[in-house]
Every structure is written in C-alpha cells, then in structure tokens.
C-alpha cells in the first residue's frame, strides 16, 4: 500500500504542448489502486469518499443557506470560506449541484491527469436546454465524447494552433489602433486633455470588434460613434445570458421552464438575441463566399477558413463560431478592465511595462508579431490579473478514473472542481498573494499548475490564443499612448454572474503621453 501511495502522490508531469497530444495516448491507464485502509502508517490511511468534510448531505437545506448568504453572487467568497473551514478538500451539495472541491496545484495535477480521453466539465444545463428547446446544435463548448473530440481537433488547427496566430495579429492590430484613435478623440472632445470614464462599454466594443474581425475577417465598425444597434443589443444579451445562468446552476432550468419562471424567460430572450446576431454575421460571410471564386488573397477569417476546409457540417461550424463570438466579449474586456485598474494603482509598474513595450517596439521595427515575443512583463501582468481576477471561479472535470487526493478516495464519475479564485489568493500557493506582481511570473519559482486562467489540456479555452493576442496588443497600444490613473483608493471586489465581474463601475482617467494631437 505504501508503495502504491507514493506513486499517486509523486508530482505528475503533464506535457504542456498538448495540441498534437490529443491523438496520442499519453493518458495513463485506469488501473486504480485498491482502496482499503492501510494501517502501517496513520498519515497514509486512505479515507473513503463519505469521510470528505463538507456539507453534502442535504442539498435543499444547503441551497437555502446559500441563498441566505447571497451565494448566487458570492460563490467565490463562499468557496474561499469553505477552504478555510474544511481544509484543502471539501465535498458540497447545493440544490442539485454536487462536487468535490480542491485548492492545491499538486492536487490539480492529479485531477487533470484523470480527465480521460474525453474531458468533461460541468454541464451548464441552462445552455444545453436552450439549444434543445430551439433545436440548435451544440458547439464544441457543449459537446462531449467523440463528437466533441473530432470537432475540437479540426477547430484547434484553425483557432488555437500557433501557425494561425500570425493571421490574427494584423487584424487585431488594426482594431487596437482604432481604439487608440477613439480615445484620443474623446480626450480632445473633453477639452481637459484627459478622459475620465467607466471604460467597460468601450472595452465590450473593442472585444467584440476584435473577435469578429478574427472570426469573419471583416470589421463591424464598433469603434465609430454610431454603432449598429443590433451589435449593442448583442453585447447586452451576453451580459444578461451570463447573469441569468448562475441561479440555474443550482435550480434545474427544466423546472424553472415548467413553472414559467422569469429567469428562464430572460435567458431564452438573451440567447435568442445572441443567435440572431451571430446568424446574421455568419450568413453574410457564407453568401459572400458563394459569390466569390478561387482562393482569396488575404486571410479570410476563421469562419470562411472552416467553410472552405469542408470538414465540419455547416451547422457544427455555426454552433462553434457562435460560442466563440459570445464567449469573446465579456471575458477579455473584463480582464482588460481589471488590468488597467491594477496599472492605475501601480504607477511605477505601469512605467516599467511602458519601457518594456518601447524597447520591444525598437527591437522589432514595429513588427507586431515580433513585438509579442519581447514583452514578458506585459504577459506576466495578464497572468497576474487572471490570478487575482479570474474569469472562471473554478475549473471542473468529471473524473474518468478513481483518484486519491489528500488521502481521500474519489470514485470515477465524480465532479471535481479546482477553486481557481481561491487558489490565486492562497498564501500557501502564492507568496504575498494580495500584491499585484507581474514579475512573479518571470522568476524561476515554480509555476507548476498555477497559471490556469484558460483551463488546462485538450479541453482548455479554445479562444485562448485569440484572447491572449487581443489583450497583449491592446495593452501595447494603450501603454504607448496613455497614462492610466484612478480617482481614490477604493478597493473593487468581484461579483459572481457566472463569470466574475467587478461589483461596481471602475472609473479610470486616461491622459495622453505626448501632448495633444
Ligand atoms: C461557472 O460553478 C461556475 O469561458 C460554475 C462552474 C462553471 C462551469 C463552466 C464555466 C463557468 C463556471 C464560467 C464560464 C465559463 C464556463 C465554461 C465556458 C465559459 C468558463 C466556472 C466561458 C466564459 C465561455 C462562455 C462561452 C459561451 C458564452 C458560449
């Protein structure tokens, strides 16, 4: 038993270059250790699943308690509290939502090693029920099993493979330049040589413009003064869609639908708005593609590439493109807003980043793709933002095999969640976690299973490369043009609306670096 245990507890090395790995069988076999208590050493007794601490016996009572604590908006704080109360592993059942929760990077390694060939995260029933209700196909976000795998492999090549990144950069650079020009214009209009505002609406538009230009190879024109009302409606629908999802994590949406609950109705309306706009964009590209003959001269965007590749059905392509478009707005824009907020709070750091960008610009003669290789501190800043302000409060998998974590046996099929928000703020995992220190990502200290803002492995965020390039290019342009400042020292907390958001508006002031234009 001792020998077996040491095998389980030894550090797991999982290759990070996973893209090609999908086809190779690197996952270990499911020969699982026999679970019986070992009495040779009391510290290594393997305890049973039912001995895991936590509140998991009465889902309904826990749901009531959770609701009393305003848990629908405080999930992240409640998780931190639970780890404080129960230790590094706890079991929980809220309503019909059952999980085992972990916080340590070493345990995360065990979890992801057991994700199996077809990694499966929590099923967001509200999202699948909407698609069933409206007779729409699932995209790669909601698919599972072989259907997921075959779609994901094809999408990887067009969306996340380093080779295609070069195609995205010039498109994203153009949007970045337009954003800067828009801010300069706003500063001029103000007549005060500065612009103080809640940037979130502007950032939503930047993010939608960016992801659309990559997906469709075309601009929507959202950096202009008068924007398409349908695009604005799309943005509003995404926020509403996320907000209405969170209660339905705990209360079955099928039940809410049966009783005609308002959250379900709002949710349907939100997705209808999202699909309406995405269908419109997709149809335009599809029509243009049928008119044109021969191969296009310039990169035509992800959608057209997928259509020409002809490996996925049109319905499958539409479903995944819609998910990418909807997933690419609030996620990146909020991460950028948090980053600007942190830079405003740390003026010296802001200058350091600016210096790094200036040096990178000089060394690469303005070639953006070259520049992106020379900005480690800017990349560290984005990692640091996602550590303190992750988009996703947790990462989860239904494990494909039995595992042992913190000496507890967890059977295959269990939903195991890594508390990403809690991990990012745990002093046992990050030294001085409360401090925003991008340089911690440069140092040689271990980053083992610590940078998980986009998830892990073959099921990680498909939009990751687009998001990263989009955010890096944004920061480059902003740092080169403006100083970011903030009003007073007010600490802004997060609120949970399926993704984590700032609980209140963040007011920032942008000042031009080089006189007025
Ligand atoms: C929310 O307890 C909290 O990239 C739940 C567990 C959970 C499951 C799935 C996660 C979700 C959380 C947060 C938002 C995520 C989602 C999977 C994909 C989604 C992380 C952590 C997101 C934002 C893409 C959304 C795309 C959609 C709009 C089509």
Q: Which helix (H) or strand (E) holds 508?
A: strand 507-512
- For 15: left if phi > 0, alpha if psi spans -120 to 50, otherwise beta; the answer is beta
Q: Tell me, using a 6 A CB cutoff, whether residue 462 lines ligand 1.
A: no
- Report CA-CA distances (Å) from 142 to 48, 65, 413: 32, 30, 18
Q: Determine phi and psi for 442, rounding to 5 degrees.
A: -95, -30
Determine which residue's CA is closest to atom 28 belonging to ligand 1. Answer: 327
SS3 state at 429: coil
Q: Tell me, using a 6 A CB cutoff, whether residue 360 lines ligand 1.
A: no
pLDDT of 21 strictly over 70: no
Boundaries of domain holding 472 = 49-87+95-122+163-249+326-512
Print the SS3 string covering 8-51. Answer: HHCCCCCCCCCCHHHHCCCCCCCCCCCCCCCCCCHHHCCECHHH
> Is 12 part of a structural domain of the chain?
no
pLDDT of 15 strictly over 70: no
> Is 16 part of a structural domain of the chain?
no
pLDDT per position as a tens digit, 282-311: 999 999 888 877 776 789 999 999 999 999
pLDDT per position as a tens digit, 182-210: 999 999 999 999 999 999 999 999 999 99
**For range 250-275, the mean pLDDT:** 97
Q: In angstroms, rounded to a whole number, what is the distance separating the alpha carbons of residues 56 and 67? A: 16
Q: In angstroms, rounded to a whole number, what is the distance separating the alpha carbons of residues 113 and 249? A: 26
pLDDT of 36 strictly over 70: no
- Report CA-CA distances (Å) from 102 to 54, 209, 217, 506: 12, 37, 41, 31
In contact, 142 and 316? CB cutoff 8 Å: no
Question: How far does the centroid of ligand 1 lie from the alpha carbon of residue 181, in Å?
Answer: 33
pLDDT of 4 strictly over 60: no
> Is 380 part of a structural domain of the chain?
yes
pLDDT of 6 strictly over 60: no
Question: How far does the centroid of ligand 1 lie from the alpha carbon of residue 415, in Å?
Answer: 15
Mean pLDDT across the chain: 91
Question: How far does the centroid of ligand 1 lie from the alpha carbon of residue 124, in Å?
Answer: 8
> Is 135 part of a structural domain of the chain?
no
Joined tokens for residue 451: 């940078």
| Residue 461 CA from chain centroid, whole number | 6
Question: How far does the centroid of ligand 1 lie from the alpha carbon of residue 496, in Å?
Answer: 11
In contact, 424 and 390? CB cutoff 8 Å: yes
pLDDT per position as a tens digit, 168-182: 999 999 999 999 999
Residue with tokens 């990178």: 360
Q: Tell me, using a 6 A CB cutoff, whether residue 122 lines ligand 1.
A: yes
> Is 140 part of a structural domain of the chain?
no
Q: Tell me, using a 6 A CB cutoff, whether residue 325 lines ligand 1.
A: no
Question: How far does the centroid of ligand 1 lie from the alpha carbon of residue 144, in Å?
Answer: 15
State which of 63, 120, 124 you would mutate to test the pocket of ligand 1, scoring each by most atoms of that ligand within 8 A of its C-beta.
124
Question: How far does the centroid of ligand 1 lie from the alpha carbon of residue 362, in Å?
Answer: 39
pLDDT per position as a tens digit, 364-378: 998 999 999 999 999
Q: Tell me, using a 6 A CB cutoff, whether residue 326 lines ligand 1.
A: yes
Residue with tokens 């998910």: 323
In contact, 441 and 448? CB cutoff 8 Å: no
Question: How far does the centroid of ligand 1 lie from the alpha carbon of residue 385, in Å?
Answer: 18
| Least-confidence region, from 41-45, 132-136, 232-236 | 41-45
Question: How far does the centroid of ligand 1 lie from the alpha carbon of residue 123, in Å?
Answer: 10
Joined tokens for residue 132: 């069933």
> Is 31 part of a structural domain of the chain?
no
pLDDT of 479 strictly over 50: yes
pLDDT of 441 strictly over 60: yes
Residues of the chain with pLDDT > 90, as a percent, come to 85
**For range 95-101, the mean pLDDT:** 95
pLDDT of 26 strictly over 50: no
> Is 67 part of a structural domain of the chain?
yes
Q: Tell me, using a 6 A CB cutoff, whether residue 392 lines ligand 1.
A: yes
Determine which residue's CA is closest to atom 24 belonging to ligand 1. Answer: 327
pLDDT per position as a tens digit, 348-402: 999 999 999 999 999 999 899 999 999 999 999 999 999 999 999 999 999 999 9
pLDDT per position as a tens digit, 106-123: 999 999 999 999 999 999
Q: In angstroms, rounded to a whole number, what is the distance separating the alpha carbons of residues 407 and 410? A: 9
Kindly report the CATH number assigned to the domain that includes residue 462. Answer: 1.10.630.10
Q: What is residue 44's predicted lDDT score, i.e. its pLDDT?
A: 73
- Report CA-CA distances (Å) from 2 to 41, 42, 51, 385: 8, 11, 21, 41
Q: Tell me, using a 6 A CB cutoff, whether residue 141 lines ligand 1.
A: yes
Q: Tell me, using a 6 A CB cutoff, whether residue 97 lines ligand 1.
A: no
Q: Tell me, using a 6 A CB cutoff, whether residue 327 lines ligand 1.
A: yes
Task: Write the CB contacts of 53 (distance below 8 Å, at least 6 apart in sequence).
Answer: 86, 87, 89, 90, 91
Q: In angstroms, rounded to a whole number, what is the distance separating the alpha carbons of residues 151 and 15? A: 22
In contact, 508 and 486? CB cutoff 8 Å: yes
Number of domains in the chain: 1
Minimum-distance ligand 1 atom for the alpha carbon of 327 = 26
Q: In angstroms, rounded to a whole number, what is the distance separating the alpha carbons of residues 35 and 46? A: 7
Question: How far does the centroid of ligand 1 lie from the alpha carbon of residue 393, in Å?
Answer: 9
Joined tokens for residue 35: 């679970």
Q: How many residues does the chain have?
A: 517
pLDDT of 443 strictly over 90: no
State which of 319, 498, 500 you would mutate to test the pocket of ligand 1, scoring each by most atoms of that ligand within 8 A of its C-beta.
498
Task: Write the CB contacts of 136 (distance below 8 Å, at least 6 apart in sequence).
Answer: 130, 275, 319
Q: What is residue 43's predicted lDDT score, i.e. its pLDDT?
A: 58
User: CA 311, 315, 320, 324: dihedral to nearest 10 degrees?
Assistant: 120
Q: Determine phi and psi for 181, rounding to 5 degrees.
A: -60, -40
Sheet strands side by side (includes 97-102): 54-55, 89-94, 97-102, 415-419, 394-398
**For range 453-477, the mean pLDDT:** 97
> Is 191 part of a structural domain of the chain?
yes
Grade residue 273 by pLDDT with cuts at 50, 70 and 90: very high
Grade residue 406 by pLDDT with cuts at 50, 70 and 90: very high
pLDDT of 334 strictly over 60: yes
Q: In angstroms, rounded to a whole number, what is the distance separating the alpha carbons of residues 282 and 303? A: 8
């Amino acid at each position: 038993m001792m020998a077996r245990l040491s095998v389980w507890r030894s550090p797991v090395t999982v290759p990070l270059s996973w893209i090609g790995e999908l086809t190779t069988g690197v996952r270990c076999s499911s020969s699982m250790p026999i679970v019986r208590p070992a009495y040779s050493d009391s510290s290594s007794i393997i305890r049973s699943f039912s001995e895991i601490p936590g509140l998991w016996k009465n889902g309904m009572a826990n749901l009531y308690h959770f609701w009393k604590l305003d848990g629908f908006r405080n999930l992240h704080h409640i998780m931190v509290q639970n780890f404080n109360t129960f230790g590094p592993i706890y079991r929980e059942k809220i309503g019909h939502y059952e999980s085992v929760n972990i916080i340590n990077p070493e345990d995360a390694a065990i979890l992801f090693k057991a994700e199996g060939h077809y990694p499966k995260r929590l099923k967001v029933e509200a999202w699948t029920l909407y698609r069933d209700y409206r007779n729409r196909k699932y995209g790669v976000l909601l698919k599972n099993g072989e259907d997921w795998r075959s779609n994901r492999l094809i999408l990887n090549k067009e969306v996340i493979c380093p080779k295609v990144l070069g195609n995205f950069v010039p498109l994203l650079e153009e949007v970045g330049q337009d954003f800067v020009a828009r801010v300069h214009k706003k500063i001029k209009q103000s007549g005060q040589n500065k612009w103080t505002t809640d940037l979130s609406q502007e950032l939503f538009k930047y993010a939608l413009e960016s992801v659309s230009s990559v997906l469709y190879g075309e601009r929507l024109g959202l950096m202009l003064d008068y924007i398409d009302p349908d695009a604005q409606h799309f943005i509003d629908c995404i926020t509403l869609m996320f907000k209405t999802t969170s209660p339905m994590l705990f209360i079955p949406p099928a039940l809410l639908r049966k009783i005609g609950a308002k959250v379900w109705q709002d949710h349907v309306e939100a997705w209808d708005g999202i699909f309406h706009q995405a269908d419109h964009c997709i149809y335009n590209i599809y029509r243009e593609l049928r008119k044109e003959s021969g191969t296009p001269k310039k990169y035509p965007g992800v959608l057209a590439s997928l259509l020409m590749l002809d490996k996925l059905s049109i319905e499958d392509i539409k479903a995944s493109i819609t998910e990418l478009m909807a997933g690419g707005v609030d996620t990146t824009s909020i991460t950028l807003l948090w980053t600007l907020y942190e830079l405003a709070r740390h003026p010296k750091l802001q200058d350091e980043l600016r210096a790094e960008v200036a040096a990178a610009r000089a060394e690469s003669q303005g070639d953006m793709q070259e520049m992106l290789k020379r900005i480690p501190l800017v990349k560290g800043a984005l990692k640091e933002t996602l550590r303190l302000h992750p988009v996703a409060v947790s990462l989860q998998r239904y494990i494909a095999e039995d595992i042992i974590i913190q000496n507890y046996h967890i059977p295959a099929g269990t939903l195991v969640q890594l508390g990403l928000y809690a991990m990012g703020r745990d002093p046992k995992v990050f030294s001085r976690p409360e401090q925003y220190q991008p340089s911690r990502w440069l140092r040689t200290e271990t980053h083992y299973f610590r940078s998980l803002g986009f998830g892990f492995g073959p099921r990680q965020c498909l939009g990751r490369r687009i998001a990263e390039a989009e955010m890096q290019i944004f920061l480059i342009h902003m740092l080169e043009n403006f100083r970011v400042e903030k009003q007073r020292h007010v600490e802004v907390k997060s609120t949970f609306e399926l993704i984590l958001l700032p609980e209140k508006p963040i007011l920032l002031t942008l000042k031009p670096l080089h006189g007025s234009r």
